[in-house]
């Protein structure tokens, strides 16, 4: 039996389409980046400060106050891997910058009593992805 040129063309197109579909896998996975905190320049101040942010503790001793603190929450990044998987974003988290001010306390406006490191309102400074690793479509799981 003889195949028509159209049948051969359609068969070649389906094989090519299947090959192209398999080659579109990103070959990445989600990797967790732990939460972190960074202190800006410190100012002399009678009291220190302490922050607890997602299990990360940031603080200073009793004689300093940071001008700001950047708090980056736990998030993910896509990294290359040899598995036929891809990293999919399912949400976002916000990095925060918190400003501090060393407030001087006086008696009658003349005599300095002490000072406190006071937290000011925070500002969102950036977004970071939350990801999950998924198998590429049409992949089978070996068992």
Whole-prediction pTM value?
0.67
For the stretch 26-56, pLDDT in tens is: 999 999 999 988 888 988 887 777 777 766 6
CA distance 131 to 78: 8
Number of CB atoms found within 10 A of residue 141's CB: 5
For the stretch 122-132, pLDDT in tens is: 899 999 999 99
């Amino acid at each position: 039996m003889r195949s028509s040129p159209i049948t051969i063309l359609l068969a070649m197109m389906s094989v090519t389409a299947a090959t192209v579909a398999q080659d579109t896998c990103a070959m990445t996975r989600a990797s967790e980046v732990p939460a972190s905190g960074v202190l800006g320049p410190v100012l002399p101040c009678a009291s220190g400060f302490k922050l607890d942010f997602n299990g990360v503790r940031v603080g200073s001793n009793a004689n300093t106050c940071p001008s700001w603190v950047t708090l980056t929450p736990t998030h993910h990044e896509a990294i290359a891997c040899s598995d036929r998987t891809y990293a999919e974003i399912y949400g976002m988290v916000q990095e925060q910058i918190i400003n501090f001010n060393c407030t001087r306390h006086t008696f009658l406006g003349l005599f300095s009593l002490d000072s406190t490191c006071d937290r000011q309102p925070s500002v969102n400074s950036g977004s970071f992805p939350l990801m999950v690793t998924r198998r590429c479509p049409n992949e089978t799981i070996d068992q």
